[in-house]
């Protein structure tokens, strides 16, 4: 197992993201329905599917695929997800610029950039019951695992677990931004939809990277 993957062959990661989102379309909307307006899965699926149609064959490099996804979300999707995930993926792509291989160092930077990008455009804080609450603990967990000597694959596993824990922790949070925030205390007790899709995305990335490292 190598500890990195070739960026130019990894555009398929974005295809896997699209598949994961489409497979969970109904579930994501259902979660959003509890305290939001019930369209999160639809929004995500529409945006990701549209991006998929633009990826082309053969697949572009990972940064190009991520930028296509980002641009499609920002330009065509709208909603909150367009800007938020649009910035998330373009921020990730920016960190791949000039790189040939995606290793743990680069991935750590991608995660930090993603977190900063979403935070900037959305002006939400960690703890506000948003996708940041999956993204932030995942970012921190990856950093710490890697720094503490785990290898890339192990660090990805640690990150996946942290994203899931972060996602689940949103159950106990009160929403401070977005539609759900108007619910106040009534927003407690259920998952946040954005944190759920974010966790799904991070886990799909992690799984895809690991598979490519084995291959």
Partner 1 sequence: MNRIFNNPDFVVEDAVRGYLKAHPDILAATENARVLRRPLAPQKDKVGIVTGGGSGHEPAFLGYVGDGMVDAVAVGEIFSSPSAKAFHDAFVAADGGRGVACLYGNYAGDNMNVKLAVKQAAKHDLTVKTVVANDDVPSAPKDEIKKRRGVAGEILMWKVGGARADEGADLDEVIASAQKAIDATRSIGIGLSPCTIPAVGKPNFSIEDGHMEVGIGHHGEPGVAVMPIKPANEIADLMLDHILPDLPFEKDDDVALLVSGLGATPIMELYILYDRLAEVLQARGMNTRHLFIGNYFTSLEMQGVTLTMMRLDSELDRLLSAPARSLGLTRI
Ligand X SMILES: Nc1ncnc2c1ncn2[C@@H]1O[C@H](COP(=O)(O)OP(=O)(O)O)[C@@H](O)[C@H]1O
Q: Which does 151 bind (CB under 5 to 8 A by kind): partner 1, ligand X, Mg ion, none?
A: none
| 78 interface partner picked from ligand X, Mg ion, partner 1, none, CB below 5 to 8 A per type | partner 1
Tokens of 214: 């084995």
Spatial distance between the Cα atoms of 147 and 154, rounded to a whole number of angstroms: 12
For ligand X, give the closer residue by CB, 39 or 95. Answer: 39
Q: What is residue 188's DSSP assignment?
A: T
Give the residues lining the site for partner 1 (CB under 8 A).
29, 33, 37-39, 42-43, 46, 74-84, 121-122, 177-179, 182-183, 186
- The rounded distance, in Å, linking the Cα atoms of 38 and 4 is 38
What minimum distance in Å lies between the beta carbon of 44 and ligand X? 6
- Residue 182 interacts with which of partner 1, ligand X, Mg ion, none, CB < 5 to 8 Å by class: partner 1
DSSP notation for 13-52: HHHHHHHHHHHTHHHHHHHHHHHS-S-HHHHHHHHHHHHH
Selected binder of ligand X within 8, 79, 103, 106 (CB under 6 A): 79
Contact 110, 176 (CB under 8 A): no
How far apart are the C-alpha atoms of 207 and 188, rounded to whole Å?
31
Number of C-alpha atoms within 13 angstroms, CB side, residue 160?
Answer: 16
Contact string (CB under 6 A) for ligand X, positions 109-148, x = contact: ---------x---x-x-----xxx----------------
Residues that bind ligand X (CB under 6 A): 32, 36-37, 39-40, 43, 79-81, 84, 118, 122, 124, 130-132, 177-179, 192-195
């Amino acid at each position: 197992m190598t500890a990195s993957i070739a960026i130019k062959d990894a555009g398929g990661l974005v295809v896997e993201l699209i598949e994961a989102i489409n497979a969970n379309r109904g579930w994501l909307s259902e979660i959003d329905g509890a305290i939001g307006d019930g369209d999160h899965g639809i929004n995500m699926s529409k945006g990701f599917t549209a991006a998929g149609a633009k990826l082309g064959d053969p697949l572009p490099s990972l940064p190009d695929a991520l930028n296509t996804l980002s641009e499609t979300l920002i330009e065509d999707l709208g909603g909150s997800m367009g800007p938020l995930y649009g910035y998330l993926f373009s921020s990730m792509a920016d960190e791949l610029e000039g790189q040939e291989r995606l290793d743990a160092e680069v991935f750590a930077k991608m995660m930090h950039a993603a977190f900063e990008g979403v935070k900037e455009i959305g002006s939400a804080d960690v703890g506000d019951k948003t996708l940041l609450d999956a993204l932030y603990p995942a970012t921190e967990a990856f950093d710490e695992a890697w720094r503490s000597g785990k290898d890339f694959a192990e660090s990805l596993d640690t990150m996946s677990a942290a994203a899931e824990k972060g996602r689940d922790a949103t159950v106990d949070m009160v929403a401070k931004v977005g539609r759900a925030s108007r619910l106040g205390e009534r927003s407690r007790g259920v998952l946040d939809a954005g944190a759920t899709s974010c966790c799904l995305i991070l886990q799909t990335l992690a799984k895809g990277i690991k598979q490519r490292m084995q291959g």
